[in-house]
Amino acid sequence: MKKLLSALAFAGALFVNQPANAQVQTFSYDNEAQLVGAAMASPEGTRLVLLNVVQFCSKNFQSVRTAADGAYARWVERHKVYLRHSSGYRAAAKEALSDKSYPEANRAQIRKLLEDGLPRMVQSQTQAAITPIQIAKENGAGDAMCKDYFKAVDAGKLDLKVNDPQLTEFFDKRAPK
C-alpha cells in the first residue's frame, strides 16, 4: 500500500503540472509512478471528454444523437475493464487522503490531482475537441464534423490501446487471469 501511495503522490505532481491545453495524444511514461497516475486519470478522463462531446453534439445537432450515444456506449464497452481498474486506483487514492499516517504533503498532491488536475485536464481536452465543431457549426458543417468524430470513435481512434498503449499494457499485466 505504501508503494502505491508513494507512486500516487509522485504521479499527482506529474499530472497536475500538465499544460492546460493538452490535446489527445500518444503518451509515454518513464516509470511506474507515472503509470499509476495515468491509471487513475487516463481512462476516466477520456470517458468524460467523450461524454462531453456527445452531450455537445447531441444538444446542437439532433441528427447525430443516435450515432453519438451509440459510439459512446461502444467505447465504454470496449474500455470497461480499464475503467474498472482506473476506478480502483482512484479509490485507493481517495483512501490515502484519510490515512493520517501518510505525509500531508503527499496527501495534498493526491487531492490536487483528483480535485483539480483531472477536472482541469478534462475541461481542456473537451474544449480542444469542441472548438473545431463550434467553428464548423458557424459554417453550417457542425453536424458533419460530429458525425466524423463519432465515426472515428467507432473506428477506435480514441481507444486507449491506440493513444495510451503503455498504460493498457500496464493494466493488462495486472488483470486477473
Q: State the pLDDT confidence band at 16, using cuts at 50, 70 and 90.
A: very low
| Mean pLDDT calculated for residue range 6-35 | 56
Give the separation between CA 112 and CA 129, rounded to whole angstroms: 24
- Residue 152's SS3 state is helix
pLDDT tier for residue 32 given thresholds of 50, 70 and 90 = confident
Question: Helices 32-60 and 118-138 sit at what angle, rounded to 10 degrees?
Answer: 30
Contact status, residue 23 vs residue 48, Cβ threshold 8 Å: no
What is the reported pLDDT for 10?
Answer: 46
- Taking only the tens place, the pLDDT of each residue in 63-91 is 999 999 999 999 999 999 999 999 999 99
For residue 75, what pLDDT is reported? 98
Mean pLDDT taken over the chain: 85
Cell of 97: 487522503
pTM: 0.83
* 3-state percent breakdown (helix, strand, coil) of the chain, nearest 5: 80, 0, 20
pLDDT over 60 at 12, yes or no: no
| Listed residue (78, 89, 95) closest to 37, CA to CA | 89
Question: What confidence category does residue 22 fall into, taking pLDDT thresholds of 50, 70 and 90?
Answer: very low
For residue 101, the model assigns a pLDDT of 87
